[in-house]
Amino acid sequence: MMQHYSLKKVGQMERFHRANFINCLTGFKSPVLIGTVNTKGEENLAIFNNLVHLGADPALIGFINRPREAAPHTLANIEATGVYTINHITASFIHQAHQTSAKYPEGVSEFERTGLTPEKIGDCAAPFVAESPVKFSLVLKEVIPIQFNNTYFVIGAITEIYLNSALVEEDGCLDLQKADIVASMGLTDYYAVNKIAKLPYARP
């Protein structure tokens, strides 16, 4: 039966229960690993589940970085070097990808701690994830502070894309399911997907 959750009722939930509840309201997302490097050459890898498509031409992607005190390294590295990589996650390495969300001190490489493999491609300073079948590099365009909760909306422009051409469908869409790329919801739940429809461009 449909139930009403007022803000008051949500406010009375235990803190982690409420965080899970509100996090799930935005539904399914693709979790990704963002690879960065600091000016000392120390690599960082962190899982994010809040990518958003901003436009195809120019090809722009945004993501939300949590407050600096909670999640300092990715944003600081991107600001310092101007570049980062985004790497999709397959079912075969969700445990390692999830483990990058643990709070390691600065200078500790999540690659080393999780066993994922850093991969340098071309002249991109930031590391890619070798295990990822769909990945791309970006240059930073803008960091927009969100005044309400000290988060940041980070906008980047895609520079290079690496994926298996067998994933590209006739209409340009990607068959991420074929590559076993997962979806996630909230902070803990991972999902496999199964295509149920391709619906054409809608006209009145």
Which residues 172-201 are close enough to bind a copy of itself by CB under 8 A?
A: 172-174, 176-177, 181-183, 185-201
Task: By CB under 8 A, tell whether 154 contacts a copy of itself.
Answer: no
Residue 41: its H or E element: none
**Rounded Cα distance, 159 and 93, in Å:** 25
Rounded Cα distance between 91 and 123, Å, is: 29
Output the CA–CA distances (angstroms, integers) from residue 53 to 56, 101, 138, 150, in the order listed.
Answer: 8, 23, 13, 22
- Is residue 51 a contact residue for a copy of itself (CB under 8 A)? yes
Lookup: tokens for 2: 């449909």
**CB 111, min distance to a copy of itself, A:** 14
**In whole angstroms, how close is the CB of 126 to a copy of itself at the nearest point?**
16
Tell me which residues in 64-123 interact with a copy of itself (CB under 8 A): 64, 86, 88, 91, 94-95, 98-104, 108, 113
Q: How far is the CB of 89 from a copy of itself (least distance, A)?
A: 9
Q: How far is the CB of 97 from a copy of itself (least distance, A)?
A: 9
Rounded to whole angstroms, how far apart are CA atoms 29 and 159? 23
Binding to a copy of itself (CB under 8 A) within 120-149 occurs at 133-134, 136, 141-142, 144, 146-149
d(CA 23, CA 187): 7
Query: How many CA atoms are closer than 13 Å to the CA of 14, on its beta-carbon side?
Result: 2
- Angle 30-155-35 from CA coordinates, rounded to 5°: 60
Interface pick for a copy of itself out of 50, 72, 80, 125 (rule CB under 8 A): 50
> Which parts of 18-47 interact with a copy of itself (CB under 8 A)?
18-30, 32
Q: Any contact of residue 16 with a copy of itself (CB under 8 A)?
A: yes
